[in-house]
Amino acid sequence: MKLIELRRDIHKNPELGNAEFRTTGVIEKFLRQDGIIVRRPAKTGVVALITGTKKGAGPSRSIALRADIDALPITEKTNKPYRSRAAGVMHACGHDANTSMVAGAALLLARRKNEFSGTVKCIFQPNEEAAGGALGMIRAGVLKNPVPDCIVGIHVNPWLKTGTLGVKAGAMMAAVDRFTIEITGARSHGAYPHLGKDSIVIAAQVIQSLQSVVARQIDPVDPAVVTVGTIHGGEAFNVLAGSVTITGTVRTLNHKLRRDIARMMERHVAMIVKAYGANYRFSYEALGQPLENSPKVLALCRRAGGAVLGKKNIREIEKPSMGGEDFSEYLRYVPGCFVFMGARLRVPHPWHSERFDIDERALAKGAAVLEEIALSYLS
Ligand SMILES: [Zn+2]
Ligand SMILES: [Zn+2]
């Protein structure tokens, strides 16, 4: 019951990435009631440590549980009594629920300290949506003192039946990259194209060609997406555009393909631009890592999930998502696994919808699964 109250409190008062000041305070207060030691590694976000008191035989181990705490710039359109009170901000991804599940697990584990040895580190991370939150926490030292041996991230899923746990072997979410291409041709009168270098015609060929990188140069069973999101250029209907800027995103599921695709894209741009005697600038930024689950931590999640929810309620997620999730940043340092807690309503709405909501019965189940994951790892 407590978890539903906590979730509704956070849901009613959503805050955007890196501005989760109230949310941070609410989490701290919730955890302190059971004497859990909390600290604030950055401006917002919380790290809680629960140390077991059982005499361990071997060296003491440590496991991290991670939730995200930020909301989105969306105006809520549900008529629930706990709907957002903050104009234009909403927990439309369910991070309020993720927070409640990890906070619930922290409380449960604090009460069973004498049953395990080692440490559970609960990470409540800011700013997942705009990316950079996980990286900020890592830089602030959340993976030190103690260094966790593994990490588990949990996220509510509006499509999975309440009480089921969604798991996925291997690659689960994509790397998120951004590219910018600036094409510089030469202006001239629209009636005399041979006197200029038309950046718009060049850009059109570049865009077609970028699509053929995926269609013709990449193994079709290795998923990749190249999306051009913006194109800007030109000043007047009768003037050749002097320059065009194109931006877009690339999604891949592994590091090698990610490097290859960036190289192939630039090669296409360079050849086309050269054919017209124009110039270009190509920049490619890695915004997020691909999320790949560790087989060992996945097995731990499957076992613990099955023990709490029943084996038949462990659902294998068939396809990876080309969306990103910055939980992947932790996986560069620590093996881990990301799992989905089913929280389906009679009429589900997708993540990031203004009508997004969850079945709150999932909160206690998610907390119990995380509790079991930590307990079975540390005892
Ligand atoms: Zn989201
Ligand atoms: Zn999310």
| C-alpha of residue 201 to centroid of ligand 1, in Å | 36
pLDDT confidence of residue 1: 56
From edge to edge, which strands make up the β-sheet containing 165-167? 37-39, 46-51, 119-125, 62-68, 150-157, 336-342, 165-167, 314-316
Please answer whether residues 12 and 34 qualify as being in contact, where contact means their C-beta atoms are separated by less than 8 angstroms: no
Structure token pair of residue 242: 């002097």
| C-alpha of residue 78 to centroid of ligand 1, in Å | 18
Assign 102 a pLDDT band (cuts: 50, 70, 90).
very high
Asked if the model's pLDDT at residue 296 lies above 70, the reply is: yes
Ligand number nearest to the C-alpha of 95: 2
pLDDT confidence of residue 34: 85
Q: Measuring CA to CA, which residue among 107, 104, 102, 71 is closest to residue 89? A: 71
Question: Is the whole-model pTM more than 0.95?
Answer: no
The C-alpha atoms of residue 243 and residue 210 are separated, in whole angstroms, by 18
Question: Which amino acid would we find at residue 123?
Answer: I
Q: Measuring CA to CA, which residue among 171, 335, 187, 206 is closest to residue 280? A: 206
β-strands 279-288, 175-184: how paired?
antiparallel
| C-alpha of residue 310 to centroid of ligand 1, in Å | 28
The C-alpha atoms of residue 206 and residue 66 are separated, in whole angstroms, by 41
The C-alpha atoms of residue 342 and residue 167 are separated, in whole angstroms, by 11
Token pair 């939980």 is found at: 327
| C-alpha of residue 327 to centroid of ligand 1, in Å | 12
The residues near 247 (Cβ < 8 Å, ≥ 6 apart) are 178, 179, 180, 181, 228, 229, 230
Mean pLDDT of the chain: 96
Assign 57 a pLDDT band (cuts: 50, 70, 90).
low
Please answer whether residues 290 and 175 qualify as being in contact, where contact means their C-beta atoms are separated by less than 8 angstroms: yes
Mean pLDDT of 51-56: 87
Assign 131 a pLDDT band (cuts: 50, 70, 90).
confident
| C-alpha of residue 168 to centroid of ligand 1, in Å | 19
- Which regions of the chain does DSSP assign to beta strands (E)? 37-39, 46-51, 62-68, 119-125, 150-157, 165-167, 171-173, 175-184, 224-233, 243-252, 279-288, 291-292, 314-316, 336-342
Ligand number nearest to the C-alpha of 129: 1
| C-alpha of residue 284 to centroid of ligand 2, in Å | 25
The residues near 18 (Cβ < 8 Å, ≥ 6 apart) are 43, 44, 70, 126, 127, 130, 133, 136
The C-alpha atoms of residue 312 and residue 93 are separated, in whole angstroms, by 26
Could you tell me what percent of the chain has a pLDDT over 90? Answer: 96
| C-alpha of residue 324 to centroid of ligand 2, in Å | 9
Out of 21-35, 57-71, 81-95, 238-252, pick the least confident.
57-71
Q: Measuring CA to CA, which residue among 302, 189, 195 is closest to residue 238? A: 189
Please answer whether residues 238 and 213 qualify as being in contact, where contact means their C-beta atoms are separated by less than 8 angstroms: no
Interval 279-290: pLDDT, tens: 999 999 999 999
| C-alpha of residue 351 to centroid of ligand 1, in Å | 6
| C-alpha of residue 352 to centroid of ligand 1, in Å | 6
Could you tell me what percent of the chain has a pLDDT over 70? Answer: 99
| C-alpha of residue 363 to centroid of ligand 1, in Å | 18
Q: What secondary structure does DSSP assign to 329-357, as a single string? A: GGGGTS-EEEEEEE---SS---TT-TT--
| C-alpha of residue 356 to centroid of ligand 1, in Å | 11
Interval 140-195: pLDDT, tens: 999 999 999 999 999 999 999 999 999 999 999 999 999 999 999 999 999 999 99
Interval 67-92: pLDDT, tens: 999 999 999 999 999 999 999 999 99
Mean pLDDT of 190-207: 98
| C-alpha of residue 157 to centroid of ligand 2, in Å | 9
pLDDT confidence of residue 136: 96
| C-alpha of residue 206 to centroid of ligand 2, in Å | 33
